Structure 1
Amino acid sequence: MNLGKFLRERGMHYIGTVRENRLKGCSLRPEKEIRKEPRGVSDSCLEVDSGTLAERWYDNKKMDVITSYVGTEPMTMVKRFVKAKTMIEVPCPAVSAAYNENMGGVDLLDSLTALFKAKLKTRRWYLYIFYHTLNMAVATSWLRYRRQCHLMSLPRIELCQFQADVAESLVIYMRKPGRPSSNS
């Protein structure tokens, strides 16, 4: 079962980039053909079973996006620089515009989790997944904490200190009192 169908059955919408070799059964125009046309040309393919739309948009380079969240219409105009350092308007499908609008959160989370990653060398792959998930949860919590501090006009601590405080509180919470000694 493909991921799109799996998410659709659970009522979840998605949008994201996809590699060309993952678009099996979807016949989009090849990159060489699209590159010959002016900037902003796009091609799309809809898979009716899963409600998934695959779209290829060519701006400076091709961008393959897959979604169940939004369609290609309406086309909007986006401003882009050309070599002469002037601005031109390029047509942009709604899929690519929605992806570009919302991709900052994932990029921000990736960069924050990479800043203070645990140096872990293990053959047990599940430990790496556990620590990565924990690191993502701490980074997401810090972003929420930072937003609350901004709304309440409070001073805030940096991510490194926040991570240290979370680790310290987990260690204190996990400490269990030992058994009383038999000498007493």
Structure 2
Amino acid sequence: MGGSVVVDLLSELQAQEFHVFTDNLFTSLALMSELRVMGMHETGTLHANRTAKCPLTLPQAMKKQPRGTMDYQLEATSNTVIVRWNDNSVVTVAFTGYEVQPLQKAKRWSREKKQFITIPLPNAVAQYNAIMGSTDRMDQNLGAYRPTNTIRIKKW
């Protein structure tokens, strides 16, 4: 399972340009390269060990940095950008079709200052959160309100 599932699902849509959002179970640099050949873009979170030896700051070192710290690298042959960003935890996002800039602003609660602070947010992370947040909400609603959970079948 993995990238081949995504390619199989998208194989019927090759005539159009799409931007695909995937979670860390499906995202890989090989999938991004394959989708670029198909004329599609992808954005997805990556496991820290799936960055193909990309020279990013290690997650352990990134955790010691202040919130909002980021590091990014461009893989020139496939035009894929990998961003590692420190929020409550270290997040690694790979994407094609976006730029790292402009940085947006994220409002987060600071336990040390006991108030909201504003931290820089890479554009691709903001786009990913906007799309996948809705998907996560849909999954949550389907799990809670699935018709099989609410309809009782009477057996005569």
Q: Structures share a fold, TM > 0.5? A: yes
- Measured after TM superposition, the shift of residue 109 of structure 1 is 4.4
Instruction: Percent identity, please.
Output: 33
What residue is the counterpart of 2:117 in the other structure? 88
Find runs of 4+ consecutive structure 1 residues off by over 6 angstroms: none
Instruction: State the distance in 2 between where 1:27 and 1:36 align.
Output: 18
Instruction: State the distance in 1 between where 2:74 and 2:118 align.
Output: 27
What residue is the counterpart of 1:3 in the other structure? 31
- Measured after TM superposition, the shift of residue 32 of structure 1 is 2.5
Q: 2:147 is matched with which residue: 160, 163, 182?
A: 160
- Measured after TM superposition, the shift of residue 159 of structure 1 is 4.7
1:1-184 → structure 2 map (5 Å cutoff): 2-83=30-111, 84-111=113-140, 115=143, 159-160=146-147
- RMSD of aligned residue pairs (Cα, Å): 2.4
Contact 2:71 2:83 in 1 (8 A): yes
What stretches of structure 2 of length at least 5 have no aligned partner? Answer: 1-28, 152-156
Instruction: State the distance in 1 between where 2:68 and 2:115 align.
Output: 17
- Measured after TM superposition, the shift of residue 106 of structure 1 is 2.8
Structure 1 or 2, whichever has the larger Rg, is 1
Question: Which whole-Å deviations, capped at 9, do the CAs of 1:125-184 have from their partners, x for residues lacking one?
Answer: xxxxxxxxxxxxxxxxxxxxxxxxxxxxxxxxx7517xx8xxxxxxxxxxxxxxxxxxxx
The one-letter amino acid of 1:13's match is: H
Contact 2:68 2:87 in 1 (8 A): yes
In the superposition, the TM-score normalised over structure 1's length comes to: 0.58
User: Which has the larger helix fraction?
Assistant: 1
Instruction: State the distance in 2 between where 1:104 and 1:77 align.
Output: 17
How many residues are treated as equivalent by the alignment? 121
Name the structure, 1 or 2, with higher relative contact order (CA <8 Å, separation 6+). Answer: 2
Instruction: State the distance in 2 between where 1:58 and 1:103 align.
Output: 19
The one-letter amino acid of 1:55's match is: V
What stretches of structure 1 of length at least 5 have no aligned partner? Answer: 117-157, 165-184
In the superposition, the TM-score normalised over structure 2's length comes to: 0.68
